[in-house]
Structure 1
Amino acid sequence: MHLAAVPEERARRNPHQPCVADERTELGNAGFAVRVRSAASVLRARGVRAGDVVAVLLPNRVEFVVTLFAAWRLGAAVTPVNPELTDGEAAFQISDAGAKVVVGQSDSPLVTVRVEELATAAPDEGPVADDEHAIALLIYTSGTTGKPKGVILDHANVRAMTEMIVSGLELGPADHSLLILPLFHVNGIVVSVLSPLLAGGRSTIAGRFRAGTFFDLVERVRPTYFSAVPAIYALLAGLPETVRPDTSSLRLVVCGAAPMPAELIQRVEERFGVVVVEGYGLSEGSCASTLNPLAGPRKPGTVGRPLPGQEVRLMDARGQLVADGPGEVVVRGPNVMRGYLNRPDATAETIVDGWLHTGDVGRFDEDGYLVLVDRIKDMIIRGGENLYPKEIENVLHTHPAVLEAAVVGAPDPVLGELPVATVTLYPSARASEAELLQHCRERLTRVKVPVRVDVVPALPRNPVGKIDKPALRRELAS
């Protein structure tokens, strides 16, 4: 079954079963299918056809999922836009993706279809698109060159990934996901929405995550699982000891986006009585490539075994597959992206002979579980968000006083890493830390803004004259 047909098929099989909900709306299968068809009519009236792109500039809410399936019904792709991006950042993505329309809340000047309009049209009567090779998602990820790149995932990619998640997490009609990760990430879309809906279950979409009230929501909604990042689990583990919630509905909880310390996994499992299933993957691989097996043994400190249907191997610097690590983690399978939108050179660097190069260094233990050792790239992972220093450095360089800038990750017990900038100024130029931070706030999403900007006379350099980022990291770590 093509993913675009999921709403109609669910409505046919069990029209009254709960499907998707948020803080405002609850839709059963029949109601969801009608909402999807109405939204498809609105998009069709705005000229959206097969092969077009629909940008969705929305926070987590039911209408995001409605728009996703409405676009797919027409054979169009969806590019989810982080609603916290600045107008300039969002406009770049919308333009780069070639979006025909932008669905969002009316307070954004970029919006061409207001979210309130989606339920106003008569349901679409056209056929449901069924091309497995049509683009389903354009997921934008920051690049080392400073500009985000559009990851092209077709329906075959997304369907293969969804089926792997359903199998790996043993999802079925009784499962109920609680979505707390942002829907502009492939994890939120695939693990918490598409997988339970395909398995016959349902999804409840939470608003902004707040540790202090999260378990109140769990007790009220009664989900069977949720997916989160290590930073969220650290915040939950840090709640007062008097917080002892009823988590009996949770069959499992999922952790991804960044390695979770084994000590934190143990603390969360023992305190809240849940099973933490950790996995690993990239947007370029549609979401996940390894998973700790639900039935066990689960091995904290590893990110599990390769998901069935994928090959996960290690490669040396000469491009040769090696049995003994460490080596670069490479992935091959039906979930691997078609490439980066309009970036053939970047695609050729990332996918070589069918192998997706992750930029991560790892090794396999004696039982075939993947252990991540390091990252080749300079990526900073802040609370599960991938940040690329070059993008932040480029913004700092636009300040007239900044001569050089280097951004590295500083260790943080809750968020994992925080971006710290070190800059030098032009001779006779003046700029305070507060001024440089404000410069960043005006041009970057909040999560990308450095927590500190150190102004120094000179940056450390290695023997060949390049800025010595390892030296900066060592200084921060100490």
Structure 2
Amino acid sequence: MPDSISARLRAAIADHAGTGRTALSGSDVVSYADLGARIDAAAGAVRDWGVAKGDRVGLIAPKSAAAIAAYFGAMQAGACVCFLEPGLAPEVVAEQASLVGMRHLIVAEADAAPAALTGLDVRALDSLADGAAFAAEIGPGDEAMLLFTSGSTGRPKGVLLRHEGLICNAEGVLRHTGTGPADRLLHVMPFHHTNGVNNQLIVPLLAGAEIVLMERFQAEAALDQLRTDGITYMTGVPTIYARMLPLLRPGERFPGLRFLRCGSAPITPTLHRQIEDAFGVPLLVSYGLSEATCTSTMNPPGRRRIGTIGTVLEGQSVELFDPVTDRPVEAGREGEIRISGPALMAGYLGSADQPIVDGWLRTGDLGRFDADGFLAITGRIKDVIIRGGENISPALIERQLAAHPAIRDCCVVGAPDADLGEVPVAFVVLREGEGLDEPGLKDFVRGHLARIYVPAQIRKLDVLPVNGVGKTDRKALRGLLAARGTGAAAG
């Protein structure tokens, strides 16, 4: 049979079933044998439903074993599957479905489907439980997965991924992390995020690990799981770990925990060290985009390097280019991070914008490799603040502010300025008991960076706004500036 991620998962699950291993736990405990049978049944039911190879199938359901079986069952039947974000308005779901040509939708309860979804063939999740085992003949170049991303435009775009991309990502992550049957992953990310499926379902299932499902992240509940359930690793975004830190008991450690993984958003060296000191294990920072399946670089366990996003995963190419001349930059120089290889998406659906040019995905992120092949992000082309003709990286200011003992979290965005065009404004979350000393914080930045990096204003928030996957929402912060007016003056 031609190679596909579905064929690999089916074979791996069958192997692990023979050892009696547990695949999923949380609200339900599901063995590998049971999970394999559920996926086979769902694949047969999807075929009987009339879904043809290459058809796009959406899935909206709570995080559960049933949702996982339906997702991989539909994929095994040859469909191109998409976890849609729960809680979206029906008209938004209908818009996304129309955008990518999706005609089939699986939901928790079909009878409750609103009228806005009448253009879709809607089936209930539990209707997929009784099909006869089936596996379509699928090749590496066939469509496997759809993800939605808004990118910088705010309009949804469908990211179309092939089986070969999912295989490439999984192989690279497995080799980098050494995930195996002894591992227990605490799954706290949403399924509609690429990491929630590619790195937190596919990778551990191939490895024979156990996945402990949390329907939604809650800091105290996650810590309880680490304390009592023998978790060996978990993956989150910086905001997740920042919210857990105040709840940790002084000096406590977690039996069995090997490492923590962090990605999807930048993290300051200060927060990185605070997390490692508090949890007592390495924090492995990684980097990737949905447009390149999931992960392209990662810090290896045992030799992580703070301030970097790690080394390149096997099977992918990551190089730096001058964004103006499109030529590779010299060793040690900053350039735009571009990715090539089989992990790249087939393209966007619903958008004329195609960021893959001459086989290279243009990420818009700026970075620099060190002599040992560790990559550090130095900024983002579109996030650069242009103050009086000089380019300012918000990340530099954020790293400096994060080192101040009064600051728990921060984000810097550009604000319009009548004289300079744009100036940096910092939003900060203070540690408990601390007051906002704006002049003192400006002096702290001024003592380590050039004058142009000093924020024109520093504003206090109780918490930074985040989007659906926990990334700091810079767009929302710019909206706050627009709503209140900046009144900015150069600092």
Alignment CA distance shift 1:291-1:445 (3 Å): closer
1:85 to 66, 71, 88: 88
- Checking the alignment, whether the CA contact within 8 Å between 1:247 and 1:274 is kept in structure 2 is no
- Checking the alignment, whether the CA contact within 8 Å between 1:310 and 1:334 is kept in structure 2 is yes
Deviations 1:38-64 (A, max 9, x none): 222332232112111110112322222
Trace 1:17-416 onto structure 2 (pairs within 5 A). 17-106=20-109, 107-109=112-114, 110=117, 112-119=122-129, 121-124=130-133, 126-239=134-247, 241=249, 246-296=253-303, 298-316=304-322, 317-323=324-330, 324-343=332-351, 345-347=352-354, 350-378=355-383, 411-413=427-429
What SS does the corresponding residue of 2:159 show, helix, strand or coil?
strand
Amino acid at match of 1:98: G
Trace 1:431-470 onto structure 2 (pairs within 5 A). 450=476, 453=480
- Checking the alignment, whether the CA contact within 8 Å between 2:58 and 2:104 is kept in structure 1 is yes
- Pairs aligned (count): 404
What SS does the corresponding residue of 2:362 show, helix, strand or coil?
strand
Deviations 1:194-234 (A, max 9, x none): 11111222322212111122111223332211110000111
Deviations 1:291-344 (A, max 9, x none): 112131x2111111222222211111111111243211111112111111254x
Which stretches in structure 1 are left out of the alignment for 5+ residues? 382-388, 390-405, 415-443, 460-471
Amino acid at match of 1:373: T
What is the CA–CA distance in structure 1 between the aligned matches of 2:425 and 2:194, rounded to whole Å? 24
Which stretches in structure 2 are left out of the alignment for 5+ residues? 385-393, 396-412, 414-421, 431-466
What's the offset of the Cα at 1:454?
5.7
Q: Structure 1 stretch 90-99 or stretch 1-10: which is displaced more?
A: 1-10
Alignment CA distance shift 1:9-1:172 (3 Å): closer
- Corresponding residue for residue 3 of structure 1: 5
What is the alpha-carbon root mean square deviation over aligned residues?
Answer: 3.1
Amino acid at match of 1:270: D
Amino acid at match of 2:305: K
What is the CA–CA distance in structure 2 between the aligned matches of 1:320 and 1:363, rounded to whole Å? 15
- Checking the alignment, whether the CA contact within 8 Å between 2:191 and 2:197 is kept in structure 1 is yes
What is the CA–CA distance in structure 1 between the aligned matches of 2:302 and 2:4, rounded to whole Å? 29
Alignment CA distance shift 1:477-1:15 (3 Å): farther
What is the CA–CA distance in structure 2 between the aligned matches of 1:203 and 1:218, rounded to whole Å? 13
Relative to the length of structure 1, the TM-score reads: 0.77
- Checking the alignment, whether the CA contact within 8 Å between 2:23 and 2:209 is kept in structure 1 is no
- Corresponding residue for residue 434 of structure 1: none
Deviations 1:134-189 (A, max 9, x none): 11111110033331111111000011100000001111222221111111111111
What's the offset of the Cα at 1:351?
0.9
Deviations 1:231-256 (A, max 9, x none): 011111222545x6551211111100
Alignment CA distance shift 1:264-1:147 (3 Å): same
- Checking the alignment, whether the CA contact within 8 Å between 1:410 and 1:477 is kept in structure 2 is no
Amino acid at match of 2:278: R
What is the CA–CA distance in structure 1 between the aligned matches of 2:235 and 2:489, rounded to whole Å? 31
What SS does the corresponding residue of 1:322 show, helix, strand or coil?
coil
What is the CA–CA distance in structure 2 between the aligned matches of 1:371 and 1:81, rounded to whole Å? 32
Q: Structure 1 stretch 71-80 or stretch 56-65: which is displaced more?
A: 56-65
What's the offset of the Cα at 1:353?
1.0
What's the offset of the Cα at 1:281?
0.9
What is the CA–CA distance in structure 1 between the aligned matches of 2:302 and 2:151, rounded to whole Å? 37
What's the offset of the Cα at 1:371?
1.4
Q: Structure 1 stretch 76-85 or stretch 219-228: which is displaced more?
A: 219-228
What is the CA–CA distance in structure 2 between the aligned matches of 1:410 and 1:77, rounded to whole Å? 42
Alignment CA distance shift 1:186-1:412 (3 Å): farther
What SS does the corresponding residue of 1:67 show, helix, strand or coil?
helix
What is the CA–CA distance in structure 2 between the aligned matches of 1:89 and 1:477, rounded to whole Å? 42
Identity of aligned residues (%): 32
